[in-house]
């Protein structure tokens, strides 16, 4: 009779453990599914932001400059801005005025910190990069905006 009572306890413990395992597995599966839905939603919003930036490309950026492309390169959203007339010197030297232009461009990027879409990207580890290239596509300079720039 005592063995009957202890076998009932064993059955109850095994049954409870099975229910706990099934419940835990269900919770893990639901948690993964929720994270997958969130990831899909974030990717869709990021693509919508890129699509918005790409509208009307190529388009004038400033006198003599044209915004030609907006695309992700790794964790950077790169906006390629091409000079319509200037070329990099063939000897590889850099124009001393370019550093001043780069500093001015960095200052012009700071108001992007007020845009909700930009803040959304920065909060997810994306940096915004403006890449200035010459008429032949050779790099003049890159300027980046990271989340740390927006907390100043």
What would the pLDDT profile of 107-129 be if each residue is shown by its tens digit? Answer: 999 999 999 999 999 999 999 99
CATH code of the domain in which 121 resides: 3.30.300.250
* Res 22: pLDDT: 86
Asked if residue 51 and residue 80 are part of one domain, the reply reads no
What would the pLDDT profile of 37-72 be if each residue is shown by its tens digit? Answer: 787 888 888 889 889 989 999 999 999 999 999 999
Q: Minimal CA–CA distance to 57: which of 41, 40, 78, 29?
A: 78
Distance of alpha carbon 60 from alpha carbon 41, whole angstroms: 32
Asked if residue 75 and residue 10 are part of one domain, the reply reads no
* Res 39: pLDDT: 76
Distance of alpha carbon 117 from alpha carbon 134, whole angstroms: 29
Overall number of domains in the chain:
2
Model pTM score: 0.73
| Domain with 131 in it | 58-151
Query: Is residue 119 classed as helix, strand or coil in its secondary structure?
Result: helix
Asked if residue 145 and residue 93 are part of one domain, the reply reads yes
């Amino acid at each position: 009779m005592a063995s009957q009572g202890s076998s009932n306890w064993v059955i109850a413990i095994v049954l409870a453990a099975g229910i706990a395992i099934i419940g835990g597995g269900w919770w893990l599966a639901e948690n993964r599914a929720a994270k997958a839905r969130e990831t899909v939603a974030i990717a869709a919003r990021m693509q919508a932001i890129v699509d918005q930036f790409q509208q009307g490309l190529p388009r004038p950026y400033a006198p003599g400059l044209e915004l030609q492309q907006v695309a992700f390169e790794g964790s950077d959203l790169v906006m390629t801005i091409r000079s319509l007339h200037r070329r990099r010197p063939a000897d590889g030297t850099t124009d001393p005025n370019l550093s001043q232009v780069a500093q001015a461009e960095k200052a012009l990027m700071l108001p992007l910190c007020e845009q909700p879409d930009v803040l959304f990207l920065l909060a997810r580890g994306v940096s915004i990069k403006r890449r200035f290239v010459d008429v032949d596509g050779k790099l003049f300079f890159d300027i980046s905006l990271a989340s740390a720039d927006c907390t100043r």
